[in-house]
A and B are shown apart, each in its own frame.
Chain A
């Protein structure tokens, strides 16, 4: 150590992020063996949790880091679900191998879509993505081979019994979740992530300092599309039933937005916390249907107005904590209150 205890230092890893990474590894291992110890119903519920985390994390990448508020990510959820129907159901391809294929296809499809959607900004972008999702739904239901308006069921994997099938969907969900979170962490700390946050906070200044704002946004738009597509594929595999109104429903966007807003927009940890909370409430309050969403809506609006950082923002208000090391911090040990956030990641 060349510096003494009172000199400021810049660091990425601190005890929180080292602990965070350790906890993450342990958690993944625990979650991986969990299906052997919990009832099959819980395994199925947990698969939904993974789907929420994937969706929320990718929506947060789009809106929290990229500043693109989309209410049309259900376009890729639907495409992903129908991708499984086509590749695995109709063409007889292995369902698990189909997930990455479907995700990549959704990412590729998001590229031409981005040229349309990027003509709009702000709120107009939001509704524009919604219209595109509606077009996807309306086109899908015109194909009787895909079940038309009433949906289609996916043939279960052959040679696997029901419990194993549910567990396989769970493991697939766990893997995709880990991949998506890792990808977002890596993006957030990469040059692309810095470019994105710069473009989100001050697009003109970012562009003048040499950032290709549109390119950065386009890449993120495609990644978010791929992640939503993977989530859609997981939905198809775990429910074995794909209905156009369900997979293309705008309620997915409502879920994503509430999860991210309540958990904390613009952080990695926030969407995960939000997803766990959303999922736990949903499991507990499943019988209340509409009231549940009303309550969430009120909570979400309150959060935006009074706690824009969400739950994670409230937790880290006093002390900057990064369980995922995405930013450098300046540590000045002698100062009483170093928690004054320099910048949101």
Chain B
């Protein structure tokens, strides 16, 4: 969604981890189960996204990418150290009870974890909804118009800053869900946002910049490569992902799905 503002949010991974800790705090205090807590944290992150965009990120938007990069990187460092100071550096993990280990057995004795399947379905659903909204609704048209040319869009009555805020809100809400899913699947600690950001970035480049479905495809490729590499040597999974990314950069720098050129 940050494609709308044409900025790269270096705090994306840190925000996912922040959301995961939000859920963790709610669970720890005994208020709710993790899934219920998610329904509290996501709206909070959505609100945070809007407010942060309107107050801080908006100011950093300019012709040069430098200010927005520095600001989002600063936010990432702030979040990471805030979590380190308040939550300790320990690895944390959510448990959803039976869902953690539940699996479906397909013919041929192939087992598929139920939770990863739910996450995949959610991702497809979210992407599908998003691309439908972007293509067919008034809001989607507004977002695309503001993304292409904020000045002209505002002449026709659109409020670019409000649209940016909404885009950031959606992005923050999705990143909160991602942070939670990662928390169930692999666990997290205050610094795991770095790796999340790198993986997300690699998926975007492999899939092709600006393409929603390309990103999904890129994520799947990256995930499969990492998992297969980990089968041979469990310490290899990160390196294998990076190497695949670099290979794409060398041989297919535009990614798998090239967005139709705008100009």
B-binding residues in A (CB < 8 A): 63, 67, 69, 71, 116, 119-124, 126-128, 130-132, 134-135, 138-139, 142, 250, 254, 257-258, 261, 265, 289-291, 293-294, 296-298, 300-301, 304-305, 308
Contacts and interface: CB of A to CB of B under 8 A. Distances in A.
A114 B59 CA distance: 31
Interface string B186-201: 0000000010011001
Given A131-B201, A265-B66, A71 B75 contact: no
Nearest to B9: A123
A120 B205 contact: yes
B82 interface: yes
Contact of B85 (A128, A258, A290, A296): A290
Contact of B201 (A67, A127, A138): A127
Interface stretch (B28-36, B90-98, B235-243): B235-243
B78 A261 contact: no
A261 B85 contact: no
Interface in B59-77: 59-60, 64-71, 73-75, 77
A77 to B, nearest CB: 17
Contacts of B246: 116, 131-132, 135
Give the residue among A71, A135, A304, A308 with the most B Cβ atoms within 10 A. Answer: A304
A335 to B, nearest CB: 29
Contacts of B249: 116, 119-120, 128
B227 interface: no
A109 B129 CA distance: 45
Interface of A is mostly: helix
Interface of B: 7-10, 56, 59-60, 64-71, 73-75, 77-78, 81-82, 84-85, 194, 197-198, 201-202, 205, 209, 235, 238-239, 242-243, 245-246, 249-250, 253
A297 B205 CA distance: 28
Given A257-B74, A304-B70, 12 more contacts: A67-B64, A69-B70, A116-B250, A119-B249, A122-B69, A123-B7, A131-B242, A135-B242, A291-B85, A294-B85, A297-B74, A305-B59
A124 B84 contact: no
Given A71-B73, A134-B242, A138-B239, A294 B81 contact: yes
Interface of B is mostly: helix
A122 B71 CA distance: 14
20 contacts: A69-B66, A123-B7, A124-B201, A126-B8, A127-B8, A131-B245, A135-B242, A138-B239, A254-B73, A261-B70, A290-B82, A293-B77, A294-B85, A296-B77, A297-B74, A297-B77, A304-B60, A304-B70, A305-B56, A308-B67
A300 B65 contact: no
A148 to B, nearest CB: 10
Contacts of B81: 290-291, 293-294, 297
A127 B56 contact: no
Nearest to A130: B198
A106 B112 CA distance: 46
A270 B67 CA distance: 16
B73 A257 contact: yes
B243 A135 contact: yes
A135 B238 CA distance: 9
A183 B257 CA distance: 43
Contacts of B73: 71, 126, 254, 257
